[in-house]
Amino acid sequence: MRIITHSRLKQFWELSRHRDAEGPLRAWYGHVRHKSVAWKSFHDVRAVFASASLVGNCVVFNIGGNKYRLVTRIMYRSQKVFVLKVMTHHEYDAGDWKVDCGCFADAPNPQQKEIRP
């Protein structure tokens, strides 16, 4: 899978209050970008990340023992994972991210060229 964009992960863990997120985020990144990973559906994601959740058209990963949340949009056809937001569990529970990330916006039409979120 091709991950777009690694910099959002790095920006999050570089904040002094989130330094403990670096290891878990790097582990997630390393696993997902490995050449053997080729997800075709959310079912494939859950086979590896059992705690991943489907929220609208976003996939949310628990990171760092459920301390952080990583919101992504996965384009299975093109094998791309868009990193939309990384946040604390508390920020996730507030729910504002759902609008910010467009998780309930219409999913891209598979007949049209994919548009980056």
- The three state secondary structure string of the chain is CEEECHHHHHHHHCCHHHHHHHHHHHHHHHHHCCCCCCCCCHHHHHHHCCCCEEECCEEEEEECCCCEEEEEEEECCCCEEEEEEEEEHHHHHHCCHHHHHCCCCCCCCCCCCCCCC
pLDDT above 70 covers a percentage of the chain that reads 90
Residue 108 located in a structural domain: no
Residue 42 located in a structural domain: yes
Kindly report the CATH number assigned to the domain that includes residue 7. 3.30.2310.20
pLDDT for 74 beyond 90? yes
Residue 111 located in a structural domain: no
Residue 74 located in a structural domain: yes
Q: Which domain holds residue 85?
A: 2-101
pLDDT for 114 beyond 60? no
Q: How many domains does the chain have?
A: 1
Q: Whole-model pTM?
A: 0.85
Structure confidence by residue, pLDDT tens digits, 3-16: 998 899 999 999 88
Residue 113 located in a structural domain: no
Residue 114 located in a structural domain: no
Residue 35 located in a structural domain: yes
